[in-house]
Amino acid sequence: MSAPDLSSLTIAVLGGTGPQGRGLARRFAAAGLDVVLGSRDAQRAQDTAATLADVGRVRGASNADAATAADIVLVVVPWDGHAELLESLKGELEGKVVVDCVNPLGFDKQGPYALRVEEGSATQQAAAILTGSRVVGAFHNVSAVLLEDPAVERIETDVLVLGDDREATDLVQALADVVPGMRGMYGGRLRNAHQVEALTANLIAINRRYKAHAGVRVTDV
């Protein structure tokens, strides 16, 4: 089976003005893909896109316009407002591959912890709202610091891709594979997305203990 061809596809990153969204956009643009950053504020998205102009093809737009323009739409918004944003873009996202990258986490004086999500996970919440889209979960555990650092040439991590739609998970695995060092790997069904999202709390705890930018590799694959 040959890997899906991504070269003709446009990738939207909703919430693309935050560190994680900017970082992912940087890496996809550096790999030669066409990227549209989305934000509630189109001007802000355009300003952020301008900072990535020397990396590759990155433009900015409103979240709705970015969703409309793209073939694959990454959702990289804060957990607060996740459901609301997706409900507002249900039409624009119809029929598209939507990649939820959101980690529902809380923080208190003891550090990070996973929030309980009624639908089970952010990814399952997205799937429950976007009934006409092909929802996949991925890119949960990738360090924004590393993604955003131009001096970091390789992101040595596996991206666990969660989903029930094989064609969609294969496509998103191929998307992860365009980033040097990164490897897309099927990670289980949508119902097993919660623990991958929540594991980010552990990685943050590890980062604090070991002064690191921890990522995950799966061994023996």
Question: Which amino acid, one-letter code, is at 212?
Answer: A
As measured in angstroms, the least distance from the Cβ of 164 to a copy of itself is 9
Q: Which two tokens stand for residue 65?
A: 């316009």
Ordered strands of the 10-14 beta sheet: 58-62, 34-39, 10-14, 72-75, 97-100, 134-137, 157-162, 182-188
Contact 42, 48 (CB under 8 A): no
Put residue 95 in one of left, alpha, beta given phi > 0 → left and psi -120 to 50 → alpha.
left
As measured in angstroms, the least distance from the Cβ of 110 to a copy of itself is 6
Contact 152, 124 (CB under 8 A): no
Strands (DSSP E) along 15-115, which ranges?
34-39, 58-62, 72-75, 97-100, 105-108, 111-114
As measured in angstroms, the least distance from the Cβ of 44 to a copy of itself is 31
As measured in angstroms, the least distance from the Cβ of 150 to a copy of itself is 17
As measured in angstroms, the least distance from the Cβ of 79 to a copy of itself is 15
Q: Which residue number, 90 or 183, has a Cβ lying nearer to a copy of itself? A: 183
Q: Which residue number, 60 or 163, has a Cβ lying nearer to a copy of itself? A: 163
Binding site for a copy of itself (CB under 8 A): 110-114, 143, 146, 156-157, 160, 162, 185-189, 191-192, 194-196, 198-199, 201-203, 205-206, 209-210, 212-221
Q: Which residue number, 144 or 206, has a Cβ lying nearer to a copy of itself? A: 206
Q: Which residue number, 80 or 210, has a Cβ lying nearer to a copy of itself? A: 210
Q: Which two tokens stand for residue 42?
A: 């189109």
Q: Which residue number, 10 or 192, has a Cβ lying nearer to a copy of itself? A: 192
Q: DSSP character for 63?
A: H
Q: Which residue number, 12 or 193, has a Cβ lying nearer to a copy of itself? A: 193
Contact 197, 159 (CB under 8 A): no
**Beta-bridge mates of residue 14:** 38, 75
As measured in angstroms, the least distance from the Cβ of 160 to a copy of itself is 6
As measured in angstroms, the least distance from the Cβ of 106 to a copy of itself is 10
Q: Which residue number, 131 or 211, has a Cβ lying nearer to a copy of itself? A: 211
Residues 6 or more apart from 92 whose CB is under 8 A from it? Answer: 64, 67, 68
